[in-house]
């Protein structure tokens, strides 16, 4: 499932241009940093042979950060930036959280 979080991280990193909010530097950098960090964590999970769970916890935390970022960093009034960040954050947190909390390994 690490490829799902990686793909969502990629979408989050590309969202400022896809959804037209690349002119807002705070929203742009938030999406880039959280998206890139999610991609890195997903790549680390793919490369690990021991299949530790910390990567999913980290991705889940990054998803939660994305959910709250528009309100903490003050771009909640930009609808396309706020909704894309929140929705992608919810998806990242849901997929990573589901995997982190599951007892079986895939």
Cα Rg, the chain, nearest whole Å: 14
* Block residue for tokens 């960090």: 37
CA distance 101 to 51: 14
What secondary structure letter does DSSP report for 22?
T
What is the average per-residue pLDDT within 86-97? Answer: 94
Tens of pLDDT, residues 28-84: 999 999 999 999 999 988 887 666 678 888 999 999 999 999 999 999 999 999 999
* Block residue for tokens 């895939």: 106
Q: How many CA atoms lie within 13 A of 50 on its CB side?
A: 4
pLDDT at 100 over 90: no
pLDDT at 104 over 70: no
Question: What is the per-residue pLDDT for 106?
Answer: 45
């Amino acid at each position: 499932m690490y490829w799902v979080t990686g793909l969502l991280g990629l979408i989050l990193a590309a969202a400022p241009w896809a959804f037209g909010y690349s002119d807002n530097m705070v929203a742009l950098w938030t999406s880039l940093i959280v998206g890139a960090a999610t991609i890195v964590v997903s790549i680390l999970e793919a490369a690990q042979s021991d299949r530790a769970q910390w990567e999913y916890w980290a991705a889940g935390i990054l998803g939660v950060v994305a959910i709250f970022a528009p309100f903490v960093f003050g771009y909640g009034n930009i609808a396309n930036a706020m909704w894309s960040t929140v929705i992608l954050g919810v998806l990242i947190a849901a997929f990573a959280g589901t995997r982190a909390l599951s007892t079986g390994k895939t």
